[in-house]
A and B are shown apart, each in its own frame.
Chain A
Amino acid sequence: MWKLFKYEWRKQISSKLIIGCILLALCAFYVLGTVLHKEGWAEIAMVFLVLAGMFAAIYVGVESLLVLNRDIRTKESYMLFMVPKSAYQILAAKILAAICQIFLTIVMFGAAFMVCFTAYMAANESLADMLNYLRQMVEEMFEVEIEWDIVLRGILTMFVAWINMIASGFLAIISVRTVLSRTKLAGVLAFAVYILLNWGTSALSGKAVELFADSGPVVLQESIALGVMAVITVICLILSGWMAEKKLSV
């Protein structure tokens, strides 16, 4: 499975290099702005860093789905499916690669923010100032107030939702390619199934939360929604693996 992972990783590494280059440029712009006390430059760089982070998180997920679609649709599928590995192992390698890709992206952005943070600390005063600066900036951008424990819960929710996005995408692509492999509209249909699956996941999570709406704290409700999403994610992956193993022709 690690060998499968190695090649899945390699299929998507180019986009990480591009993201890395963009981050380097933005960091350089920020550091330059901080050192030269050009606050406008630093603020622009920080806004673009945040926007690039959001875009990158979505793109890394979408890219995993595009790679799977290509791996099934084109002749490159033989390369993947001729190896003596089960479809479950192949999909597990793909999911693992997708998770590692998002972690790499997070690490790259973390490093970029650390560079910016260090530059700010070197040019200005204290950690408290930096955190206040970050808080103010995010509050101004999104017009919300920040509480760090909520932020952490939000990160966990985003991570599970992100994995769910990949898993439901896998199921949508594999189910459509299994049933309608020779249809030109397979891509459009896969997207429609994907939207449907995500709608279903949201509806089920919502229903589960409603059940406990009057009897528990918000944290419990959020945990239930998260749990439902996690269960749906596992079901999507198992179904995808089963369909690929038993039904999918390439």
Chain B
Amino acid sequence: MLLECDNLAKFYGRKPAVRNISLKLETGHIYGLLGPNGSGKTTWMKMVSGLVKSWKGDIRYQGQPLSCHDKAEIAYMSTEPFFYSFMKIKDVGTYYADFFADFDRDRFYRLLDRMELDLNDKTRTLSSGMAAKLKLAATLARDAKLYLLDEPLNGIDLVARDRIMETIVETSAPKNTIVMSTHLVDEIEGTIDGAIFVKEGEIVLAGSMEEIRAQYDEPIADLYRKIYGGY
């Protein structure tokens, strides 16, 4: 088992962001973490990547309690751009190479080329779409065991979305696990092999795509509408 969460809960003041989340992620899968804004997807991802602290429950990575050293194998990509404003795109590559032993600079350059990004552009001058592509290139250039991609398709145009989904599928391997949070269910339905539906900080449905399809006999997008839209 790559990751196990047991009764996870995180409160901001009295407001619960995540509550009673228990789940297990296995290696070699692409999971969709589904739910509307504010459902707790980002908080859960940040908890697993060590950015959110002071929670209740238990997170075990490869059987051991989560520690800061696990960040060497967990690649988190946030929804928002997060690169230092003084950096150029090539500096982002240097930064990742400095801190992550699994970072492949050649792959980073290839991904930049595919995303049509220029190494010498400054990160602060990038449009939101370009910044989203850069985040993804830097994250997927790592040979991580667990990728946590928070809304990877946000701010990306339709053509680039296909390219990004191709890259994510290419990155997927039997030795790693990818978790993508999104509310663009249609875009990822053909890619994921497991789905976790989160509502108001709790898991309301989780399982492999085969199980879910067998149980509900309808597309994930329709199930999503039913769970969150009530119709």
Contact = CB atoms under 8 A, between A and B. Distances in A.
Interface of A: 3, 6-7, 10-11, 14, 75-79, 81-87, 178, 182, 245-250
Contacts of A75: 78, 80-82
Given A182-B12, A182-B13, A81 B50 contact: yes
Given A78-B76, A79-B95, A82-B76, A249 B84 contact: no
Per DSSP, chain B at the interface is: loop
A83 B95 CA distance: 10
Q: Which 10 A-B pairs have the closest CB atoms?
A: A84-B72, A84-B71, A78-B82, A83-B99, A75-B82, A249-B52, A3-B98, A75-B80, A247-B54, A86-B68
Nearest to B99: A83
Given A78-B78, A182-B13, A248-B53, A84 B86 contact: no
Most buried by A among B72, B78, B82: B82
A82 B71 contact: yes
A76 B71 contact: no
A10 B91 CA distance: 12
Most buried by A among B12, B53, B95: B53
Contacts of B100: 83-84
A10 B86 contact: yes
Given A3-B99, A78-B78, A78-B82, A249 B72 contact: no
Interface in B169-214: none
A7 B91 CA distance: 11
Contacts of B50: 81-82
Interface string B58-87: 000000000011111000101011111110
A79 B100 CA distance: 12
Given A83-B99, A84-B71, A182-B13, A78 B84 contact: no
Contacts of A11: 84, 86
Contacts of A78: 51, 76, 78, 82
B161 interface: no
B95 A7 contact: yes
Contacts of B54: 178, 246-247, 249
Most buried by B among A76, A247, A249: A249
B12 A81 contact: no
B46 interface: yes
B70 to A, nearest CB: 7
6 contacts: A7-B84, A11-B86, A78-B78, A84-B70, A84-B71, A85-B99
Contacts of A86: 68
B46 A249 contact: yes
B49 interface: yes
Nearest to A3: B98
A63 B211 CA distance: 55
Contacts of A85: 68, 99
Most buried by B among A7, A82, A85, A247: A82
Contact of A84 (B68, B80, B81): B68
Contacts of B83: 76, 79
Interface in B85-110: 85-86, 95, 98-100
Contact of B51 (A76, A246, A249): A249
